[in-house]
Amino acid sequence: MPKIIFTIALVALVAVTAAPKPAEAAWCWWWCGNSSSQSSHRPYVSASSSTASVNKSYKSEHKRNKHKPKPVVATTTAPAIATSTKPVATSTPTPVVVAPVIVTPPPAPVVPPPPAPTPAPAPTVLAPGEESLSAWLTAYTYYDNDPPGSAAISHPIIHSKASGTGTFADPITLAVGFTKAGPDIAAGTRYYVPNMRKYFIVEDTCASCHPGYKGNLWLDMWIDGGKTTEALSTKCAESVTGVYTVIKNPKSNYAAVPGVISGPTCAPQFGNTLVVQ
């Protein structure tokens, strides 16, 4: 008897093992329903439970515990950008034609040609008897004559008193140094002074003019001044004083500017250049 029971149990065990899972739940109520070793993840099935409910409970448990699907990570694929190998047509801008600006230059300033240089006068050839000398020229006036305030002279030749306009025909009175023997230069001797462009004649004497000044002949020119103030005539006398070239026994064709030296104005000066008329 026990052998038969064992055999039946063995057959039942093999059948249970080979049977599908829902069948296992059907017999387990009498085999493992009251067993203390009941699995915690096996549902308790009552005798009244239907096969359909057992299958549904098992499938739910199986799905929850046995084969949990791996989470699917959603990947986002960037949309492909279509590229074209066709050349991009570009529009060519219409060239703008700008008319050239014609700038008319201002007319060149008219520069007058420089004046032709004044040619240097040719050296004047002295006539026979003429003599070029360096003289210390001074001047005396109506106010410092002897006696003062007069035109008295010591050796009149062509004038009765100091006078003259400076031409060859009317030379101006000239005073020279003297000694007891008489004037250092004979009365009536003529001189031409290029700086004043005037002729002179010896007709008077000068006490301080002897024997000359620093090796130069001393000639004292009458400049008048009787028709101007003493201050102006003195100033004019000072302005014409200096060492200048004089021509002794001059010829008559040198340039002459007639007039008194100290009048309303002081006569101009021209330097030592000899100018022939």
Residue 78 within a domain: no
- Band (79; pLDDT cuts 50, 70, 90): low
Please indicate whether residue 90 or residue 110 has the higher confidence score (pLDDT).
Answer: 110
Total domains present in the chain: 1
Instruction: Report the CATH number at residue 176.
Output: 2.40.40
Q: Is residue 111 part of a domain?
A: no
Cα(273)–Cα(177) distance, rounded to whole angstroms? 26
More confident residue, 153 or 80: 153
Please say if the pLDDT value at position 185 is more than 80: yes
> Which one of 47-51, 163-167, 207-211, 273-277 scores highest in mean pLDDT?
163-167
Residue 53: strand, helix, or coil: helix
- Find, among 174, 176, 169, the residue nearest to 254 by Cα: 169
Report the alpha-carbon distance of residue 205 to residue 7 in Å, rounded.
Answer: 198
Q: Residues 6 or more apart from 16 whose CB is under 8 A from it?
A: 23, 24, 27
Q: Which residue has the higher pLDDT, 256 or 32?
A: 256
Identity at 39, one-letter amino acid code: S
Q: In terms of Cα–Cα distance, which of 165, 232, 239 is closest to 198?
A: 165
Both tokens of 70, joined, read 């791996």
The torsion region of residue 2 among left (phi > 0), alpha (psi -120 to 50) and beta comes to alpha
Supply the angle between the helices 51-65 and 21-31 in degrees, to the nearest 10.
110
Measured between alpha carbons, how far is residue 127 from residues 164, 188, 277 in Å?
Answer: 24, 19, 15
Q: Which helix (H) or strand (E) holds 62?
A: helix 51-65
Question: Which residues, including other chains, have CB under 8 Å from residue 244's CB and lie 6 or more apart?
Answer: 134, 135, 137, 193, 194, 195, 272
Residue 144 falls inside a structural domain: yes
Indicate whether 194 belongs to any domain.
yes
Domain that holds residue 168: 131-248
Whether the predicted pLDDT of 242 surpasses 90: yes
CA 255 – CA 250 distance, rounded (Å):
11
More confident site: 92 or 217? 217
Assign 40 a pLDDT band (cuts: 50, 70, 90): very low
Q: If pLDDT is split at 50, 70 and 90, which confidence band does 116 have?
A: confident
Residue 258 lies in a domain: no
Residue 181 lies in a domain: yes
Tokens representing 46 are 């009552």
Quick one: average pLDDT of 161-171?
Answer: 98
Domain-embedded: residue 242: yes
3-class secondary-structure state, position 165: coil
With respect to residue 102, please indicate whether it lies within any of the assigned structural domains: no
